[in-house]
């Protein structure tokens, strides 16, 4: 059988939400650090104002760094693509739409392939002796790519088992 590759777009919703949350926390803690620093101009009332400024600056730097890393990740389009590969022995696909870590499942170990719709999105559910895999139709880009992947996968599993679907 020929080698087939399908483009699979990873979800960026969690990264965007993390970016927004960390950016808001960084801005808020930066503002609190600047506001608390004005307290230091007053007569010394103990170590608390300095500790507060240090804590706000630390939170601002940490969340600002996370926000910048997420922004950098979102601006790299290649980081949002992970191909699904069908070769002669196995399927190689992202473990989930949120991560780029690849999962290799041999056709011999696949016990069931189902399709279903989840909130209007068609998915392929693959049951394997090493775990389950769900492939989102929306992440494949088109209905034709979804149907082609499903038919090819079913044919490869059937050939491995020695019968047709």
- CATH number for the domain spanning 125: value is 2.30.29.30
Phi-psi map region of 111: left, alpha, beta (phi>0 left; psi -120 to 50 alpha):
alpha
* Domain assignment present for 44: yes
* Local mean pLDDT, 10-residue blocks, the chain (165 residues): 77 75 91 72 58 88 90 69 85 76 86 86 87 83 86 89 63
pLDDT, residue 6, reads 83
pLDDT, residue 97, reads 65
Query: Both 72 and 89 in a single domain?
Result: no
Please give the residue range of the domain that contains residue 52.
Answer: 13-78
Query: Both 74 and 104 in a single domain?
Result: no
* Domain assignment present for 8: no
Query: Both 123 and 57 in a single domain?
Result: no
CA separation (Å) from 54 to 23, 35, 41, 48, 80? 19, 12, 15, 10, 37
Query: Both 32 and 90 in a single domain?
Result: no
């Amino acid at each position: 059988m020929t080698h087939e590759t399908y483009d699979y777009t990873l979800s960026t919703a969690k990264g965007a939400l993390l970016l927004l949350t960390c950016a808001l926390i960084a801005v808020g803690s930066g503002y609190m650090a600047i506001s608390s620093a004005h307290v230091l101009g007053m007569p010394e009332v103990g170590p608390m104002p300095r500790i507060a400024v240090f804590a706000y600056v630390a939170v601002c730097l940490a969340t600002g760094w996370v926000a910048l890393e997420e922004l950098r990740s979102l601006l790299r389009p290649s980081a949002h693509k992970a191909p699904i590969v069908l070769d002669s022995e196995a399927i190689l696909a992202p473990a989930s739409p949120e991560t780029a870590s690849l999962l290799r499942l041999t056709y011999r170990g696949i016990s069931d392939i189902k399709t279903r719709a989840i909130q209007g999105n068609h998915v392929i559910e693959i049951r394997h002796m090493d775990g389950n895999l769900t492939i989102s139709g929306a992440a494949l880009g088109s209905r034709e790519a979804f149907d082609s992947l499903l038919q090819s996968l079913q044919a490869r599993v059937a050939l491995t088992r020695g019968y047709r679907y």
